[in-house]
Amino acid sequence: MPKHKRVYGAVIVALLIVVVLVAGYLVLDLTIERPTDEQPQSVSVSKSASPGSTESQSNIKASTNVEAKEGGQDQSVSLNSADASTDDQGDGDTQLDSNTTDNNSSINNSVVGLIIAIVCLTLVAVLAICIALWLYLWRKRIEATPGGRRLIVPETWESVSDKHNKKLNDQTKEFAELATVTASSISNLVQHNLDLQKQIANVAEGYATLQNHLDTQDAEISRLKSGYDAAIFRRFLNRFIRVHTPMQEALNESSIDLHELEQIKELLEDALEECGLKLFVPRIGESYSQAHGVADHPKIIENDDPERAGTICAVLEHGYQLEENGEVIRTAKVSVYDNVNN
C-alpha cells in the first residue's frame, strides 16, 4: 500500500474515534439531563393519624391540555400537576428523601463510569493521532535524506525478500553446478596431464635409448671409417712405393730398358685399380658431340671426306673414371676431323 494511503487511513481512524467520543458524550448528556427534566405526574401520600383525629384529605388540581393534530400535524402535551398538600407530612417527606438519594447515587455512578470511558477513548484517540503524525514525519525525514535513498516499505519487503532469496538460491545452485563441473574438468585435466607426462617420459626414455644407440653406431662408423680410410690410404701408398722403388733403382743404374718401363706401367695400373680408377678410351670414329668423357677444345684435323666430319680422329690422352659409379675423374683428349667446308 502506498504511504499516503496509509497516512490517510490513520487519519480516518482517528476521526472515527473522535466521532464515537462525541456520540458517547451526547448520549451521556441526555442520560444526565433526563431525570431532572421529568417530573412525576401525580404524587399521593397518605398518613394515618392517631386515633380520634380527623383524616386529611388531599386536594389535587390537575390540568391537562392536549392538542392533537392528526394527518401530519404537530402534537403537544402538557401536564401540570399541582402540589399535593397533606395535613400529615412527617413520614411522607422522609420516604421521598430516601428515594431521591438512591436515584442520585445510581446516576452519579453511571456518570463516573461514562466519564472514565470518555477519558480513555480520548487518550486512545490522541495517541493514535500522535502515532500517525509521527509515522508521517518519520517517512518524510527518511525520504528527505541526501543521496536519493529509497526505503522499502513493509508491504513489499516480503515479496522483495522472497525474490532476492530465490535469486540467491538459484545462484547458489548455479555456483554448485559450476563448482561440480569445474572440479570434474580439473580432475580430468589432472588425469590427462599425468597420462601426458607418462607418455612424455616414455618418449624421452625411447629418445635417450635411440640417442645412445646412434652414438654407439656413430662411434662404430667413425672407427670403421677411420680404419677403412687408413687401410685404403696405406694400400695406395704401398702401390706408389712399389712404383717408386723400381724407378729409383733404374735411375741409380742409369740404364732404363723397355721391360722395366712395362713393369712400371703395370705397377701404376695396379695402383690405380686399387684406388677404384680405370682407364677409358673414346672410340675412334665416334661423333665428338655424342662421346662421353672427352675434353673440350679438341685438336682439329683437316678433312676431305664429308662422312668423317665431326668424328674422333685419334685419342691423344686416356681418360680416368671411377669403377663404382662411372664418374669421370679426368677427361680424355682427342683429335676431331674438321668439316669439309671449313
Question: Is residue 227 in some structural domain?
Answer: no
Which residues constitute the domain of residue 313? 276-342
- Count structural domains, the chain: 2
d(CA 262, CA 277): 19
Question: Is residue 330 in some structural domain?
Answer: yes
Mean pLDDT in the chain? Answer: 70
Place 335 in a pLDDT band, splitting at 50, 70 and 90: very high
The verdict on 147 and 293 lying in the same domain is no
**201-220: average pLDDT:** 87
Q: Which tops the pLDDT comparison, 141 or 1?
A: 141
Residues 102-116: pLDDT tens digits?
Answer: 666 666 666 677 777
What pTM, to 2 d.p., does this model score? 0.32
Residue 48: all three cell numbers together: 394515618
Question: Is residue 246 in some structural domain?
Answer: no
List of E strands, 237-330: 277-280, 299-301, 312-317, 319-322, 328-330
Question: Is residue 265 in some structural domain?
Answer: no
Measured CA to CA in angstroms, residue 210 lies from 199, 203, 218 at distances of: 16, 10, 12
Question: Is residue 95 in some structural domain?
Answer: no
d(CA 93, CA 216): 157
- Looking at 113, 135, 151, which one is the last position of a domain? 151
pLDDT confidence of residue 89? 47
Question: Is residue 129 in some structural domain?
Answer: yes
CA angle 205, 211, 216 (to 5 degrees): 130
CATH code at position 287: 2.30.22.10
Question: Is residue 120 in some structural domain?
Answer: yes
- Looking at 91, 118, 151, which one is the last position of a domain? 151
Residues 235-280: pLDDT tens digits?
Answer: 666 666 666 667 667 666 666 677 777 777 777 777 777 777 788 8
Q: What is the CA radius of gyration of the chain?
A: 78
Residues 82-105: pLDDT tens digits?
Answer: 343 344 444 455 555 555 666 666
CA angle 110, 113, 118 (to 5 degrees): 120
> For 18-27, 37-46, 240-249, which range has the lowest pLDDT when averaged over its residues?
37-46
Question: Is residue 112 in some structural domain?
Answer: yes
Measured CA to CA in angstroms, residue 28 lies from 21, 100, 118 at distances of: 10, 20, 10
- Looking at 119, 135, 151, which one is the last position of a domain? 151
